[in-house]
Amino acid sequence: MLLSLLLFSLSYASEEVTALEDYLVKNLTTEDGLPMNQLNYIDVSQEGFLWIASFEGLIRYDGVDFKSITHHDYPELRGGAFDLTIDRHNGLWAFDTNQRYLFHSRQGKLQHWETDQLTEVLDYNLFLDWDGETVLLGKHRFYHVIDGSLTEYPLPGVEGRSIHYALFANDRSLWLADKNYGMYRIVDGQSTQIDPKTLGSKSGRIVLLEQGIGQTVWAISAENDLLHFQDGKWSLYQDPVLQQSGHTRAMLSVSNGTVWIGTQNGMFRFQNGQIKKLPRSHYQDEDHIYSIVCTPDGNIAYSTFNNGIKLLQKRVFQTHTREGAFKYGVVRSICPEVNGHSYLIGSIDGVSRIDSKSGQIEARFPELKGIDITDIEIITPDQIYFSSYSHGLYAYIDGKMHRYTQEDGLPTNTIYQIQKMPDGRLALATYDGLVFFDGESFAPLPSEAKLPSNLIISLFLDGDTLWFSMASAGIYAYRDGQIIPCSQGSEIEATTVFHLTKDRDGNLWGGFSGGILKIKDEQLEIFQMPKSFPYINIFHVWRDASEGLWITTNTGLYRVKIADLSPSDSSHAFTFQSYFKADGLPSNNITALSEAYAEDDIFWVPFSGGVLELNPSLLKENHYYPELLIDQVELNGINLSPAELEESSPKAFAPGLRHLRINYTAPLFQGGEDLNFRYRLQGFEDWRESNRREAVYTNLPPGDYTFEVTYV
């Protein structure tokens, strides 16, 4: 049997400068599969993997899965790994400060050297020289590996220096930060001492050096004074917040002139002469940052000693949360006020008000505190109605709150939605049918209507037509006193359709478990989601200006392209974007009965724990295509070595191949981007589509096969 492995990919990236307030912080912790939240240094391999040093060993992340190399794989890793770097040969180097081991990993082979007699350095051990080779900082000198042996790396001008940090600069000069005071620039063996205090720094001790654009160099002092060297001249930048943020352990200069500064009390950014701090999460302590890198797809990734990994990404939504307002409850409904920039929010703990300009959240209507408010209908600022779960209907009229219950003629005290009708009445979706309220009395539908369900889930008014959905009974319309079935006789006749929205062309969109519906001119069209899309409950469907559909579900937020939908083929090529709690959502849970609010250019979504304001105009097309890799091949339970995987020639196997598993991946960290893969074993099967990253075959007959994989 012959097996060849083929991959198809393309890689390039575009660059842009993102305003600090437009960053979303994606946080990956043990809840997302990270082995531990206490992390040390990180780096990026040539394939695009994030490699992370931790006290449990080495961790590799491809944007989806974490894979660990621990002392169970190599006993020498029992002390974990602290410092980490990747050289120009794509070799990974790590240092264990506990056991004093230097590690080198390439093609699945791990080597180590004992360094106890060479170094007393605890923090910064590994550096890349001018040629991209790794060097180890010893007590007062450098070492490198030559022909498998760790030997001294001779550098004129270094002798006798007490070295804290080093930079092998682009102009082939060597910069050294002294452990106690000052720094040195060594050119052709000639050393020049630099006193930071003479440059205006509060401290004479330099803790970090970083290569800037071209031949410029950045330095930061123990008091967090930022120094910039360019064309023989120094500039000083100071910020009082940065100076009070404790030890700086990481700096990263990127090609647009930005410098990222990681401290033990958060992340800062220098740009255009200004230093600003990235806002911290309300639910975490300040990030204790250890290391910062730029991923191939343009994200800033950094490791923390307390909060796992974080990635800075361009946000497409704003999350509104407040510990006192939404911390303990589910948001039910969102209703705009007449001023156009504030919204009333109904939750299981009453009503709050959000000002979208300031982001301020305040409690409103104290009479409703503790009441599960399911919907809000504003007639005028002095006439507002509130539906509730098990507490009836509330009416705020001229400054006074009134309550209507079953004692006043309501068939049930549980009301899910309210909709003002063209004739001024209120339509109520209740636990016991569709009910109308004229301000004085309640009128249910006549008994001859004979609806298949009494549980009305949602309402949507389109002109003079009131659309309503029922639990496990599809969707109906009410017009001129008549009930019009819409889904009767269709595949969703006995399905729960959750909510409807209307797009700019007058089409109605809705969702159900496993699919999307569209109503145009009262004609129903049903789209079953492809098999590559998760089978989930779809609650809201909203069309944006770029021909995309945003989908709220019980597992997160998704975006699909309308052009990719097919009413007849659920196995066609399909790509989508997904966003979860780690991407900045208040939670992954959007409840089925919570009502979103859709405008032409913005979408408000209720979550458990907060409200999301979605602005699709912030969504930029991603022009980065990750490298596609065969990650592992398992034959009858035995893995091919990484060296064998890198061989391009076909591989021959003896008859009796009972089990073949091929794992592939494409490292990608951009929030919302989900890769769909197409693969086939040529000579055995046609193309398949999957969002999984493995292909499994059993009992293959003898023959010549080629495994091909790409992504769409």
Q: What DSSP assignment string belongs to 214-237?
A: TT-EEEEETT--EEEEETTEEEEE
Domain assignment present for 10: no
Give the residue carrying structure tokens 């969703």: 492
Domain closes at, from 618, 642, 657: 618
Domain assignment present for 15: no
Q: Which of 245-249, 404-408, 670-674 has the lowest mean pLDDT?
A: 670-674
* Token code pair at residue 512: 């159900």
Same domain (yes/no): 201, 279: yes
Q: What is the pLDDT of residues 523-551, one digit of tens each?
A: 999 999 887 788 899 999 999 988 999 99
Same domain (yes/no): 490, 382: yes
* Token code pair at residue 368: 């409703």
* Token code pair at residue 182: 């000052």
pLDDT of residue 658: 87
At CA 255, angle to CA 253 and CA 259, rounded to 5?
25
Domain closes at, from 313, 345, 375: 313
pLDDT of residue 317: 81
Domain that holds residue 532: 319-618
Same domain (yes/no): 338, 272: no
Same domain (yes/no): 100, 133: yes
CATH number of the CATH domain containing 699: 2.60.40.10
How many other C-beta atoms can be found within 10 angstroms of the C-beta atom of residue 399?
6
Domain assignment present for 57: yes
Separation CA 64–CA 624 (nearest Å)? 17
pLDDT of residue 324: 46
Same domain (yes/no): 566, 670: no
Residue 53 pLDDT > 60, yes or no?
Answer: yes
pLDDT of residue 620: 67
Same domain (yes/no): 568, 445: yes
Residue 13 pLDDT > 70, yes or no?
Answer: no
Same domain (yes/no): 301, 363: no
Separation CA 261–CA 252 (nearest Å)? 7
How many other C-beta atoms can be found within 10 angstroms of the C-beta atom of residue 708?
15
Sheet holding 92-96, edge to edge: 83-86, 92-96, 101-106, 109-114
Q: Which of 398, 482, 405, 476 is nearest to 437 (CA)?
A: 405
Same domain (yes/no): 424, 384: yes
Separation CA 317–CA 325 (nearest Å)? 19
Q: Which helix (H) or strand (E) holds 644?
A: helix 642-646
Helices (H), 196-322: 240-243
Compute the average pLDDT of residues 5-25: 58
Domain assignment present for 4: no
Domain assignment present for 7: no
Residue 439 pLDDT > 80, yes or no?
Answer: yes
Same domain (yes/no): 608, 705: no
Domain assignment present for 8: no
pLDDT of residue 572: 65
Q: How many CA atoms lie within 13 A of 80 on its CB side?
A: 16
CATH number of the CATH domain containing 173: 2.130.10.10
User: CB under 8 Å to 292, separation ≥6 — which residues?
Assistant: 250, 251, 252, 260, 262, 300, 301, 302
Beta-ladder partners of 233:
230
pLDDT of residue 671: 67
Number of domains in the chain: 3
Beta-ladder partners of 403:
394
Q: pLDDT averaged over the chain? A: 90
Separation CA 7–CA 666 (nearest Å)? 10
Same domain (yes/no): 355, 266: no
Q: What is the pLDDT of residues 595-643, one digit of tens each?
A: 999 887 789 999 888 898 888 877 766 678 899 999 999 999 888 887 7
Q: What is the pLDDT of residues 100-145, one digit of tens each?
A: 899 999 888 899 999 887 766 666 789 999 999 999 998 788 999 9
pLDDT of residue 609: 82
**704-711 and 2-7 strand pairing:** parallel
- The better pLDDT of the pair 24, 31 is held by 31
Separation CA 106–CA 87 (nearest Å)? 10
Same domain (yes/no): 370, 304: no
Same domain (yes/no): 188, 72: yes
Domain assignment present for 337: yes
Confidence band, pLDDT 50/70/90 cuts, at residue 590? confident
At CA 290, angle to CA 284 and CA 293, rounded to 5?
105
Domain closes at, from 618, 652, 667: 618
Domain assignment present for 706: yes
Separation CA 8–CA 19 (nearest Å)? 34
